[in-house]
Copies of this chain bind each other. A is one copy, B any other.
């Protein structure tokens, strides 16, 4: 076991392939891959032609690929080199503060230029779009984490980027908007009058603050009605997005070799599922193929308890029912999550792969309230220096709890979590926590029953 704090890799050690979990899924691939993606109108399996209106063809082919390793294109890897490999850090000071026999490691994705793991897929998607002659990407963003990643990626490949940003965030949190504009993106507060759907929302309520659901619908409409000039880009949920993120877990595997340890528990926060999947799947692969017995813990907010309280069923990807239908854990497409600070975890659904793995018992899930996650975040910041993003703080707190359990039991487990981003843009939330102004939301089961009562009835062939 190494006595180091930090495990770095040379840029030549950036993985040359992503890990595609499709061929290793322990459940019927019909429920997790291609043919379980349904057209929102017909509820029939979506054709590549339909999907290609939305996504670059390369992206669609990745979604259905049964190749275990998919080569990372050289231009993508070249951009990864700007900040990758990201460090794996042994949290020795946190261990000491907790007085735990556990060994705590975190992979730190906050070193990317936009401060999160999001560029790992944005770069790949922008490259595919460029290769296929796409002129621009449309996308939606809440607080702006994903939007700024895609804006940077599009800028690198010289394609336009149109971001529909939830209006209340656009007005109240201007900094991410400025960041997107710094990379040359066009940012539109949503609902807008640029789309029919936006116009219809505004006609009903001119003062609508917007929502992620509305913004998705606007971005999708803008792509669909562009005659193929624009495509739509999604920053989570879909298989290829999770696969692009496996660069995180694959690097971590190499770094654990250098540390001469191997994780007993792997922890990540889950919203759509991309940072968790990207970090966990390469370790899960070892469970499947080499008999390791690592536990996997997905951590979600009690305010949006998709895995722990949602239904495992077919549902629409967005509230306007314009995005494809997939089988996933869902709180219902009409679900509007409370305004917690972890904006990236406020999604009604969950990546189909993660839903399926959870359903099959391969990964565990827990839900934490935001006061306890900020408590963990503060403890982490004071021990390790880095101020975590509110999303990542869910993984932080779960890790601390796990480490304290080790102390109680006197066991020396190796715990690894993904610190998916920093909290430089979230200090207002820390301010609320420090002054006891944070609210705890528990989503009531009755509400979930109501919101999931009218899910589409799907009969697979």
| A111, CB-defined interface residue at 8 Å | yes
Task: Tell me which of A10, A93, A119, A178 has the highest count of chain B C-beta atoms within 10 A of its own C-beta.
Answer: A178
Q: Within the complex, what minimum Cβ distance (angstroms) separates A421 from chain B?
A: 11
A81 within 8 A of B: yes
- Bitwise, A366-385 to B at CB < 8 A (1) or not (0) is 00000000000010011011
In the assembled complex, A62 has its CB within 8 A of some CB on chain B: no
In whole angstroms, how far apart are the Cα atoms of A386 and B179 in the complex?
10
Binding site for B on A (CB under 8 A): 4-6, 8-12, 78-79, 81-83, 89, 93, 111-115, 119, 152, 155-156, 174-175, 178-179, 181-184, 378, 381-382, 384-387, 424-425, 427-428, 430-431, 434
CB closest chain-B residue, reference A4: B11
Given contacts A155-B382, A385-B82, A387-B113, contact A428 B178 (CB under 8 A): yes
Beyond A81-B5, A178-B428, is A183–B381 a contact (Cβ under 8 Å)? yes
A10 in complex: contacting residue of B8, B175, B431, CB < 8 Å: B8
Given known contacts A6-B81, A8-B8, A10-B8, is B428 in contact with A387 (CB within 8 Å)?
no
Residue of B nearest to A89 (CB): B82
Enumerate 13 A-B pairs (CB-CB under 8 Å) in ascending A order: A4-B10, A5-B11, A6-B81, A6-B82, A8-B9, A113-B387, A174-B428, A175-B424, A178-B427, A178-B434, A181-B431, A182-B387, A182-B434
Residue of B whose beta carbon sits closest to that of A123: B385
As for how many copies of this chain the complex holds, the number is 2
Assembled-state Cα–Cα distance A12/B115 (Å): 26
* A83 pairs with B385, CB closer than 8 A: yes
The one of B152, B179, B428, B434 that contacts A175, using a Cβ cutoff of 8 Å:
B428
Contacts of A82 in B (CB 8 A): 5-6, 89, 93, 384-386
Partner of A387, one of B11, B179, B381, B385: B179
Chain B residues closer than 8 Å to A178, beta-carbon distance? 427-428, 430-431, 434
Distance in angstroms from A17 CB to nearest chain B CB is 20
- A27 CB to nearest chain B CB (Å): 38
A434 touches B378 (CB 8 A): no
Complex Cα spacing A81 to B8, Å: 11
Greatest chain B CB density within 10 A among A93, A112, A431 is at A431
- Of all chain B residues, the one with the shortest Cβ separation from A8 is B8
Listed residue (A9, A182, A382) with the most chain B CB atoms within 10 angstroms of its CB: A182
Closest to A78 in B: B5
**Counting chain B CB atoms within 10 Å of each CB, which of A82, A381, A425 scores highest?**
A82
Q: How far does the Cβ of A21 sit from chain B's closest Cβ, in whole Å?
A: 28
Residue A430 contacts which of B182, B184, B428, B431 (CB distance < 8 angstroms)? B182
Contact indicator A381/B182 (Cβ below 8 Å): yes
**A382 x B184 contact (CB < 8 A):** yes
> Nearest CB to that of A434 among chain B residues?
B181
With contacts A5-B78, A382-B184 taken as known, whether A424 is within 8 angstroms of B427 at the C-beta atoms is: no
Q: A378 touches which one: B114, B182, B428, B431 (CB < 8 A)?
A: B182
Across-interface contacts of A183 in B (CB, < 8 A): 381-382
Set of chain B residues within 8 Å of A428, measured between Cβ atoms = 174-175, 178
Chain B nearest CB, measured from A231 CB (Å): 22
In addition to A4-B11, A178-B427, A182-B381, 13 A-B residue pairs with Cβ atoms within 8 Å of each other are A5-B11, A6-B11, A8-B10, A82-B89, A82-B93, A83-B385, A113-B386, A174-B427, A175-B424, A178-B430, A179-B430, A181-B431, A182-B427
